[in-house]
Chain A
Amino acid sequence: MKKYFVVSFDNEYDLVDATQDFRDNGFNILDAFTPYAVHGLDKAMGLKPSRLGKICFGFALIGLTIGLYGQYWISAVNWPINIGGKPWNSMPGFLPIAFETTVLFAGLGTVFTLLWRTGVLPGRQPISFAPDVTDDRFVVVLTEELSSFKSKKAEAISMSHHAVEWHEKLESE
């Protein structure tokens, strides 16, 4: 059975310092819960930079290909129509729409990947370890096997970083 150790702070600086301290002392950090994106917390938690930038680029390429090839295929292959004597493959004229499809695919693709990857989806219930994390509390959650958890040490670190509150929670709860 796993055990969670939930520590709350009332400002971002204590949270970042404490998280760094927990990690340096070998604690396993499950996640942190904050009212806004705290800068520097990703380093303290040891999170790797997100790969969503690459995903975005991939979707952009798909959008660009569909935009360019789609217009080419429709205008020059499927049913070529002479419009003002312009060439069937009027590539420069296809660029504005190709740009728009690139942006559309990249934007929607990235957002849907984000929602799917983080599980932020319609109908989901929020995970809650402590109240007020969407208001004014900064919470870090440590997790460990029940038997091997060093409660005393965790409490000492919490105290030294001015934690407002901490409690333990078992997985089954």
Chain B
Amino acid sequence: MANHVESIREPLVHGNKNLKTITNDVLGIMDKKPTRLWWIGFLLALSALTLGIVAVSYQIMTGIGTWGLNKTVGWAFDITNFVFWVGIGHAGTLISAILFLFRQKWRTSINRSAEAMTIFAVMCAGMFPIIHMGRPWMAYWMFPYPNTRGPLWINFRSPLAWDVFAISTYLIISAVFWYIGMIPDLATVRDRAKTRVKKAIFGFLSFGWSGSFKTWHRYETVYGLLAGLAAPLVVSVHTIVSFDFATSAIPGWHTTTFPPYFVAGAVFSGFAMVLTLLLIARKTLRLEDYITVKHIENMTKVIILTGGIVTLSYATEFFMAWYSGNGYEQFVFLNRAMGPFAWAYWIMVGCNLITPQFFWFKKIRTNMLMVFILTIFINIGMWFERFVIIVTSLHRDFLPSSWAMYKPSYVEIATLIGSFGLFFTLFMLFIRYMPIISIGEVKSVLQFKGRSGGKK
């Protein structure tokens, strides 16, 4: 049987690999001196991070009056960035958990880096609401704990309190899932380490993993359980983020379609970001045999699907505004498309509706440069989607006398750049110092040549 399957299915890994070459290819990256390209990327990211640190320190010391917010538009850049980054994170969990449950074996070469991306993106996301508090050193007030003020508890009926729990749980579970998945590979690093320092560090990090099958046996069970827990978790997280808006009574926000719309949008933007990063990683680290064109194609197909759901959501919103007969609702949508923020709206539509349609063509799907450019457009479009939802709904609501415009200040823009800096600095460090591909899992999907018949 095995032979027939082999002849029909394309192998998941190219280039006639055996177990040893996989270990050497993936971990060789960690042994070599970093390339010039890596240094350029790392230093760029680090400078952006530095800018962000300066901006954040300045606004914490001065207060968030440094932002472009006003009485009408009380949520703008920071919450846009928050939702954007949370959305980016979703692709990682989707690849590692949902594709695992669907037994999609091609996920093995990309899940590690996608999970890392999730964690870094959620860290970037978490930063924004904390800064928005104005007094971030009081951030722990978000959690219910016995205190000397009564105890005065938090309001569990608020979606913002739900958000705190959703994002913290998501960060913790993603980090645990990622680390547990990495322990066997860290043991591989330990066992081939040449220097004593490296051996000691990875000996500690790998928790004494010995490859024992009795451990593997339980480990596989736990991996499946975690995947089963993470799959509904990831859906719940963006659902709750959408509740931040949907449970309010603001026209343009007060919509029951928000949860599926936001989840699809999150997967859409997340896959675009995974592709952007993986295309850079496969090129600069020469991982073309592991992250194959097939992987890229599969991901672009997910983008076509989720892009379609996002398009449908945009259409539904307009339809419902008209169909509801609610004048305020209708105004908000006309104002989105034709008001002072129409430019942002049409960037969103252009990037999110038109860009994924190019992926219907195999020629474009298999052209890595084209895919790279298109995914960047989707990243931009999805950032603008959140901006449009948040700012256009707020800046002109029920009372024309309180209408206002919003313009981000330099501090806000610097903070956004800083969050990209944090994300890419962590990602560059990760691809340099950690096994970027799940070696154990890739080995398990390697099909041996010349094995015919036999048991299993």
Closest Cβ–Cβ distance, residue B388 to chain A (whole Å): 26
Asked, given contacts A103-B169, A134-B191, whether A83 binds B226 with beta carbons under 8 Å apart, the answer is no
Instruction: Identify which of A40, A45, A49, A84 contacts B456 (C-beta below 8 A).
Output: A40
List the interface of chain B (C-beta within 8 A of A): 18-20, 23, 144, 150-153, 155-157, 159, 161-162, 165-166, 169, 172-173, 176-177, 180, 183-184, 187-188, 190-192, 203-204, 206-222, 225-226, 229-230, 232-233, 236, 240, 243, 439-441, 443-444, 448, 451, 454-456
What is the CA–CA distance of A101 and B144 in the complex, to the nearest angstrom? 13
User: A123–B204 contact, CB under 8 A?
Assistant: yes
List the interface of chain A (C-beta within 8 A of B): 11, 13, 16-17, 20, 31-42, 45, 47, 49-50, 52-53, 56, 70-71, 74-75, 78-79, 81, 83-84, 86, 90, 93-94, 96-97, 99-101, 103-104, 106-108, 110-111, 114-115, 117-128, 131-136
Query: Which residues from chain A contact B229 at a C-beta distance below 8 Å?
Result: 56, 103, 106-107
Asked, given contacts A35-B443, A107-B176, A126-B187, whether A16 binds B210 with beta carbons under 8 Å apart, the answer is no
Query: Which residues from chain A contact B211 at a C-beta distance below 8 Å?
Result: 33-35, 126, 133-134
| Chain B: CB-nearest residue to A38 | B213
User: A36–B440 contact, CB under 8 A?
Assistant: yes
User: A11–B448 contact, CB under 8 A?
Assistant: yes
What is the CA–CA distance of A39 and B446 in the complex, to the nearest angstrom? 13
User: Which secondary structure dominates chain B's binding surface?
Assistant: helix
User: A78–B153 contact, CB under 8 A?
Assistant: yes
What is the CA–CA distance of A107 and B207 in the complex, to the nearest angstrom? 19
Query: Which residues from chain A contact B184 at a C-beta distance below 8 Å?
Result: 35-36, 134
Asked, given contacts A81-B155, A107-B176, whether A100 binds B207 with beta carbons under 8 Å apart, the answer is no
In addition to A33-B211, A75-B153, 6 A-B residue pairs with Cβ atoms within 8 Å of each other are A37-B217, A37-B219, A104-B172, A106-B229, A123-B208, A127-B210
Query: Which residues from chain B contact A37 at a C-beta distance below 8 Å?
Result: 213, 216-217, 219-220, 440, 444
Closest Cβ–Cβ distance, residue A8 to chain B (whole Å): 12
Asked, given contacts A36-B440, A96-B240, whether A115 binds B207 with beta carbons under 8 Å apart, the answer is yes
User: A74–B210 contact, CB under 8 A?
Assistant: no
What is the CA–CA distance of A119 and B212 in the complex, to the nearest angstrom? 11
User: A83–B157 contact, CB under 8 A?
Assistant: yes
Query: Which residues from chain B contact A41 at a C-beta distance below 8 Å?
Result: 213, 217
Query: Which residues from chain A contact B243 at a C-beta distance below 8 Å?
Result: 96
What is the CA–CA distance of A31 and B208 in the complex, to the nearest angstrom? 16
Closest Cβ–Cβ distance, residue A49 to chain B (whole Å): 8
Query: Which residues from chain B contact A106 at a C-beta distance below 8 Å?
Result: 225, 229
Instruction: Identify which of B155, B214, B451, B454 contacts A118 (C-beta below 8 A).
Output: B214
| Chain A: CB-nearest residue to B240 | A96
Query: Which residues from chain A contact B208 at a C-beta distance below 8 Å?
Result: 119-121, 123-126
What is the CA–CA distance of A57 and B440 in the complex, to the nearest angstrom? 28
Asked, given contacts A52-B218, A53-B225, A110-B222, whether A34 binds B210 with beta carbons under 8 Å apart, the answer is no
User: B213–A32 contact, CB under 8 A?
Assistant: yes
Closest Cβ–Cβ distance, residue B48 to chain A (whole Å): 32
What is the CA–CA distance of A94 and B158 in the complex, to the nearest angstrom? 9
| Chain A: CB-nearest residue to B443 | A36
User: A107–B173 contact, CB under 8 A?
Assistant: yes
What is the CA–CA distance of A102 and B383 in the complex, to the nearest angstrom? 31
Instruction: Identify which of A74, A100, A115 contacts B153 (C-beta below 8 A).
Output: A74
